[in-house]
Structures are given as C-alpha cells and as structure tokens.
C-alpha cells in the first residue's frame, strides 16, 4: 500500500471540500442569496472559524467577499504545498500560488455549471419546489441567467438562455480561460478539486 498516495488523497479531498465550502460562501454572498437558508447557515458556521479572523483585517468590498476569497486561495495554496512535498517536490514555490488561483477559478466555473444542472433538472422533475438546495442553486445562478434571459427571452415556456449560459461556462472551463492559464503556469492536473 502506498502511504504517500493515501495521504495525498486524504489531504486533497479534505482541502478540496473545504475550498468548495469557502467558494460556495463567496458565491452566496455575491448573489445575495438567502442568508437564513439552513444550507447557507451551515456553510457560514463551518467556514467562520477561518474567515472571521481574516475579515477583521481585510474588509469585504460590498457583495464581493474578499476575506473568503483570500482564505480559499490560501487554503488551496497550503494544500498544494503539502501535496507537492509528499510527491517529493519543494515544499514552497510561488508557482503553487498561481496554481491555487487557477484551481479556485475552475472550481467557481464548476459550481455554476452543476448549480445550473440542478436547476434545469429540478425544473423538469419538481418545478416550484421550495427545497433549500434548489433555492440556493437558483439564487447562485441568477446573476448569470438574468442577463442571459434579457438577451434570449423564454420561447413558449422554454428557457433557452440557460443552455447558452452552460455553453459559455463549458467554453471558459475547457477552452478559453482555464486551459490557457493552466498552460502558462504549467499546472499539474489532478492535484486539487477543480483541475
């Protein structure tokens, strides 16, 4: 059994899940999502011990939760340093900071993509349901879907704007944004959630 491989798996999974929660917190605030939703409350309570001290020193910029974003990048950076050290590479490199930023950008695009998929499937299966997950997914994606809906209004009850938003997210994730950044920074794939 490969002990280093098991350690890398555990570290990358735990760090990835925590960064996922941090980015959900960031996007919930950016979208002005329901703070009193039980899922929002859970995300805030889990991430508060790390975000709250940083927010005392770094202010938010309106809805842009800068402390949470900085903590997400820092946690991703620390996770990458530990992972790379376990692989036998140098513990510290500023290149890892760039990798962490690319990972966070990729994770945000993935969150939007899967939230849109949840909204689309729920609209077919259980329209107008008040489930907390569906409510938050709708609120998170509305800043993307609202402008798209103004450009492409629903036709006969069919909202095609969501399809174009999903296509845009895939283009950014697979071709236009993440791959060029990853190539410039020589990002190693599979080291973190999002890449």
pLDDT of residue 190: 73
Whole-Å CA distances, 161 to 43, 111, 127, 134, 153: 29, 18, 17, 18, 7
Confidence of residue 4 (pLDDT cuts 50, 70, 90): confident
Residue 175 has what DSSP assignment?
I
- The first and second tokens of residue 153, run together, are 């209004």
Residue 148: predicted pLDDT: 94
Report CA 113 to chain centroid distance, whole Å. Answer: 10
Q: Is residue 157 pLDDT above 80, yes or no?
A: no
Report the greatest alpha carbon distance in the chain.
58
Q: Are 80 and 95 in contact (CB under 8 A)?
A: no
Report the alpha-carbon distance of residue 194 to residue 177 in Å, rounded. 13
Output the pLDDT for position 111.
Answer: 97
What is the predicted pLDDT for the residue at 7? 82
> Residue 155 above 90 pLDDT?
no
pTM flag (> 0.85): yes
Q: Could you report the per-residue pLDDT of 31-66, keeping only the tens digit for each?
A: 999 999 999 999 999 999 999 999 999 999 999 999
> Going by C-beta distance under 8 Å and a sequence separation of 6 or more, which residues neighbour residue 42?
none
State the chain's mean pLDDT as an integer. 91
- Could you read off the pLDDT of 62-92 as tens digits, one per residue? 999 999 999 999 999 999 999 888 888 999 9
Other beta carbons less than 10 A from residue 41's beta carbon? 13
What pLDDT, on the 0 to 100 scale, is given for residue 195?
A: 57
Taking only the tens place, the pLDDT of each residue in 169-181 is: 999 999 999 999 9
For the chain, give every domain's residue range.
Answer: 3-185
Q: What pLDDT is stored for residue 193 in this prediction?
A: 59
At residue 130 the predicted structure's pLDDT band, cuts being 50, 70 and 90, is: confident
pLDDT value at 191 more than 90: no
């Amino acid at each position: 059994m490969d002990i280093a491989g098991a350690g890398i798996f555990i570290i990358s999974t735990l760090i990835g899940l925590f960064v996922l929660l941090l980015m959900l917190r960031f996007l919930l605030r950016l979208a002005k999502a329901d703070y009193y939703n039980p899922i929002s409350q859970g995300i805030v309570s889990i991430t508060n011990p790390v975000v709250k001290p940083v927010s005392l020193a770094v202010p938010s910029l309106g809805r842009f939760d800068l402390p949470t974003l900085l903590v997400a990048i820092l946690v991703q950076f620390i996770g990458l340093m530990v992972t790379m050290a376990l692989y036998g590479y140098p513990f510290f490199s500023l290149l890892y900071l760039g990798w962490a930023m690319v990972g966070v950008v990729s994770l945000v695009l993935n969150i939007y993509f899967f939230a849109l998929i949840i909204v689309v499937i729920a609209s077919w299966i259980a329209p107008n349901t008040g489930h907390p997950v569906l409510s938050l997914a709708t609120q998170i994606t509305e800043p993307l879907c609202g402008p798209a809906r103004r450009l492409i209004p629903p036709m006969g009850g069919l909202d095609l704007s969501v399809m174009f938003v999903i296509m845009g997210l895939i283009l950014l994730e697979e071709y236009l944004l993440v791959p060029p950044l990853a190539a410039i920074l020589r990002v190693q794939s599979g080291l973190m959630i999002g890449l």
